[in-house]
Amino acid sequence: MVNVSTSREKRTLNWMDCLRSSGYRLTEARQAVIDVLAKSDRALNATEIFDFAREGYPSLGLVSVYRTLEKLEELNLIQKVHHPDGCQSYIAGFTGHQHLMICRVCEQAEFFEGDDLTPLIEHVSRESGFTIQEHWLQFFGICSECNNSATSNNLRKKSS
Amino acid sequence: MVNVSTSREKRTLNWMDCLRSSGYRLTEARQAVIDVLAKSDRALNATEIFDFAREGYPSLGLVSVYRTLEKLEELNLIQKVHHPDGCQSYIAGFTGHQHLMICRVCEQAEFFEGDDLTPLIEHVSRESGFTIQEHWLQFFGICSECNNSATSNNLRKKSS
DNA sequence: GCCGATAATGAAAATGGTTTTCATTATCAA
DNA sequence: TTGATAATGAAAACCATTTTCATTATCGGC
């Protein structure tokens, strides 16, 4: 179990290095986007990133948010998060392919390792003849913190 | 392993019964949409459904497609399929919650049972303190048919 | 079988998220 | 410092979905 917060502070610098060493320029707009995303423990959509980033860099354009997201995803620094209603958001990736668990109350996200999935994949693959190349696993629920405040406080719930 | 094609013919009638017994009217527009979706072995998006359905019922409006999808989903007759690029499509559901395996070549979809997932959910839940309420699992790969034609024919591949 | 309340329809307009275009600006290697 | 060009922000374009609205079709009651 790896919490997203791990070494969140170094991440900003690390990402900028990645961008530079991939031949991309280091601009203020990109830094503003990276600052927001690298520090967040929940997935954010383009508009949210835009709003947060403009607090520190008001001249930022929404287009630059999309363009930066594109680059960061291409470099595997962030990954897409899919929501049941179809909306997309982005969260800092840890390393390689990981699975997400998302709290419906505070929206905090945690990664978990999915090694235990291998037997299922093999089983399904054998039975169906499918060659499985990629998988997608997300859990939705209530994190321990929100669980606790719910028991002590008996309500407090966000929209579904 | 349950193939989507199971009792596909009866499905159209069954869905119309469901609609009626839920107090919805039986209209030509709805039948046109249902005909398409009930017979498809792959997930279709609203525009695809619209195009296919108009072959048999040219006066159909796109809005009615969306409205019918809404009702069918509400009655748990179809389920949403999420694609890596974010687009949404719909496929006939079998019963209750099932997981999907989607062929990247022919787009055919097959359901598989996910009972084997329970230990993983319990494990993650115990370690993280998360109460897991819902999960989402999709596999992407190549189905056996497309696997075969690929080996015999060595190319033939759709866009990623 | 007809009637009438109203659910459902299709066309057009509105909306909202994302992408494209383009002239201007900023970055960074030489 | 300079110059090629990557990156920017604003505005327009796009595209899927939703809303609005006047018209039409369904189906229970007569």
Under a CB-based contact definition with an 8 Å cutoff, are residues B5 and B108 in contact?
Answer: no
Residue nearest to nucleotide D9 (CA to C1'): A61
- Nearest-neighbour CA in chain B from A140: distance (Å): 5
Residue of A nearest to B109 (CA): A130
For residue A84, pLDDT beyond 80? no
Which chain B residues have a beta carbon less than 8 Å from that of A86? Answer: 80, 82, 86, 88
Query: Cα(B42)–Cα(B110) distance, rounded to whole angstroms?
Result: 8
**pLDDT tens, A57-66?**
999 999 999 9
Tokens matching residue A34: 């990276």
- CA nearest to B121, candidates A42, A108, A117, A82: A117
Please report which confidence band the pLDDT of residue B7 belongs to, taking 50, 70 and 90 as the band edges.
low
Check residue A68 and give left, alpha or beta (phi > 0: left; psi -120 to 50: alpha).
alpha
- Tell me the mean pLDDT in the region A146-150: 84
- CA nearest to B65, candidates B98, B102, B30: B30
Q: How far is CA B59 from the centre of its chain?
A: 25
When CB atoms are compared, the residue of B123, B131, B137 closest to A142 is B131
**pLDDT tens, A123-135?**
899 999 999 998 8
CA A61 to C1' C24, in angstroms, rounded, equals: 14
Count CA atoms within 13 Å of residue A12 on its CB side: 13
For residue A76, pLDDT beyond 70? yes
Pick among B128, B145, B149 to test the A interface (most A CBs inside 10 A): B128
**pLDDT tens, B19-36?**
999 999 999 999 999 999
pLDDT at residue A134, as a whole number:
87
CA B90 to C1' D11, in angstroms, rounded, equals: 35
Residue nearest to nucleotide D17 (CA to C1'): B66
Query: Cα(A76)–Cα(B102) distance, rounded to whole angstroms?
Result: 24
Residues A137, B142: C-beta atoms closer than 8 Å: no
Nucleotides of D under 7 A from a protein CB: 6-11, 16-20, 25-27
The pTM assigned to this predicted structure is: 0.84
Tokens matching residue B51: 């195009």
Interface of A with B in 108-127 (CB under 8 A): 110, 112, 114, 116-117, 119-121, 123-125, 127
**pLDDT tens, B34-51?**
999 999 999 999 999 999
Count CA atoms within 13 Å of residue B119 on its CB side: 8
Domains of chain A: 8-153 (1.10.10.10)
Pick among A70, A85, A131 to test the B interface (most B CBs inside 10 A): A131
**How far is the CA of B51 from the CAs of A65, B29, B41, B46, B61, in angstroms?**
35, 13, 16, 9, 10
pLDDT at residue A151, as a whole number:
64
Under a CB-based contact definition with an 8 Å cutoff, are residues B38 and B11 in contact?
Answer: yes
CA B9 to C1' D28, in angstroms, rounded, equals: 30
